[in-house]
Structure formats: C-alpha cells, structure tokens
Amino acid sequence: MAFSLSFGNKRNVNLIFNDHSIRYLELKSVHPPIPLKWGEHFLPPGVISDGKITDYETLSTILDECIEEWKIQRRQVNFIVPDPLVIIRKIAIPIDIQEDEVKSHLYMELGSSIHLPFEDPVFDVYPLGEKDGKKELLLFASPEKFVMDFANLLSSLKLQPAAADISPLALYRIYYMMDKAHRAENLFTAHINLTSVSMCIFEGHIPYFMRHFPLDFNVAKWDVRRGRSDECEYVFKGDPAELEEQFLSIYSEMGKLMDFYRYSVSGGTKGVTKILLDGDHPMLNKIHKELGEQFGLPIVTFPSETVQNGRNRILPPGHTLALGLALKEVE
C-alpha cells in the first residue's frame, strides 16, 4: 500500500511542506508512537502555491534557517508529496504482465491507454488482484519535476532525501496503529488546513479515491503567532461570515465525493461509513460538530492530548501528519 519513492534507509527527520508552513518532527519511539522533537515555520504567501515551489530562493533561505534552528544538519529526510501533486487511480493491465515488467509496461501505455493530467510522472503501484481476465492495480502518480524540486532543495542544503510519501497513507498509518481501522469499513479522511482540503476514501485499508481543493487564504485576515509547543497558532480576525461560507463549501465538496463513491462507483450498494478528521485549521472543533450534523456519520479525530514526548509536551494537532510520516520508517 505504501507510496515509496525511496532514496535511503536510515531513521530520518520528517518534513511536511504545504502552502503556508514547513513542519518538522523526529520520532522517539514507535510502540507507542512518541515524538522526540517537532517545530513549525510559517511561510509567506507565494513561496509554495498549489503544492509547487514558486519562490525557490526564499524557500531555500527559510529552510536553511529552520535546519539551523531545529539542528537537523546533514540528516536524512522523509517528506510528503504535496496533495495537489498526487493522483490515485485504479487501472487494469493484461494478466500476463509479470511483476518486474509492470512499471515498464505502464510507461509504454502513458498517453495511450493510461492518461494522466501531467507529463513525466513518477509513480508506484499496488496490486489489487484479478478481475475480468485483467490484473487490477492502484496507481499512485505525481509529476516528477515538482517532486524532484523538493528533493533537490533538500540536497542543496546538505540534507539527504530518503523517502517520499502521500498524506492519506500517513494519516491512515496512525489510525491503523490506534487499532481503530476495520477492513469492513469505508473510511472518508478529511485533512483540513488553512489553505486546502485533502479528501480520500479507503475501502478496507486501501485508498481508492483522492480529491484536493484549495481554500482562499488572505494572510492579512489572520494573526499568526508562535505557540508554546513550537507550533504556529492561527487566529482569524476577519468577518466570521467569510469562514462560514468557506465551511459550507468544504461540506459541499465532501458530499460530492461521497455521492460519487456511492452512486457512480458502487452503484448505490455501499457508501462511506466513517469520517476521519484531521488538520491544522484552528476551528476544527466547530467543523467536527457541523460535519456530524451534516452527514450523520461517526467522526474520529486523533487524541493529540495522548501523544506526548515524555516531558509533558503535547504534540500539537497540526503535527499528526508528520507523526504518520515518521511511522513510515517502521513499515
């Protein structure tokens, strides 16, 4: 199930890049998962846009400062491929294609039987079994150029890119380790940040459908402070009606994906059974309540107050994705 662009194999530092921040986490232990250290640095608008590095020089300068502050010089790094750059798609190939021939076959079929919205992809596949005389695969794909922009940025600052992952798998990794995952359920994950929403539907333990959409973020309407736990705290100071409208659009998009899954994919035979809610949005508790009213489904969140580093420092909720990425090391 892992999306594994591997560059190395030692215990690593874990970095999350999104449009508004860089987050960092180091793991202390796996069972139970205990983080050792973490941090966050706010990014000004326009440095990363829609998951793509748009101001390389500024990002390099900021990351260099973070490396010094977090004392992670020359370390190996796992990172998340930003959600706007990721596609998950189910495909079928001839049954006689051998396992070691799958990737070369897929490269030959790109642009003919396999269509992606970008050229020169980097991808991984997960076998789903056989159906109607074909091998079914789950394809995880991203544009190589933009993924390598992050890897090259790390290398230029003497960090060592070790592995790339995707956010739904990182979140599900924590959910699974909490013993909350059930093979019979159809789980809808919603990762809601200040600048975007990422959604994914899992059947059993497998992510089949992923959608991402941006949120309007006007930095002038937010007060950004450094919290006591080395994370950024975001306080909205604009018109509350603007956020209410944004929340309604989030619920609408979630409903559309649920309906697509129920009617277009499953022919009305099955639907989402549970929602896993996570993210750094400061009004996530309000969203939690309204989601319950909107969809009438069980909603699970990560109990961040139970994740401590042994020194009574509680891991901020916005860092759970980084924790899930860190657990990739033990798969």
Residue-level pLDDT, tens digit, the chain, 331 residues:
444 444 444 568 999 999 999 999 998 877 777 888 999 999 999 999 999 999 999 999 999 999 999 999 999 999 999 999 999 999 999 999 998 899 999 999 988 888 898 889 998 999 999 999 999 999 999 999 999 999 999 999 999 999 999 999 999 998 988 877 788 899 999 999 999 999 999 998 999 999 999 999 999 999 988 877 667 889 999 999 999 999 999 999 999 999 999 998 888 888 999 999 999 999 999 999 999 999 999 999 987 555 555 556 788 888 999 999 998 866 5
Domains in the chain, CATH or no CATH each: 5-85+143-330 (3.30.420.40), 87-142 (3.30.1490)
- Amino acid identity for residue 245 in this structure: E
Neighbouring C-beta atoms of residue 211, cutoff 10 Å: 16
**Which residue(s) pair with 187 in the sheet?**
202, 274
Cis bond before residue 32 (omega within 30° of 0)? yes
Q: To 5 degrees, how large is the angle CA 149–CA 155–CA 161?
A: 85
Terminal Cα distance for the chain, rounded: 10
Instruction: Output the pLDDT for position 8.
Output: 44
**Which residue(s) pair with 214 in the sheet?**
196
Rounded to two decimals, what is the model's pTM? 0.91
Place of tokens 């049954």: 95
Q: Could you tell me which of 325, 275, 8 has the C-alpha nearest to residue 167?
A: 325
The answer to whether 86 touches 80, Cβ cutoff 8 Å, is no
The answer to whether 14 touches 25, Cβ cutoff 8 Å, is yes
Sequence-distant (6+) residues with CB within 8 A of 196 are 18, 19, 83, 84, 212, 213, 214, 215
Stated as kind and residue range, the H or E segment containing 5 is: strand 5-6
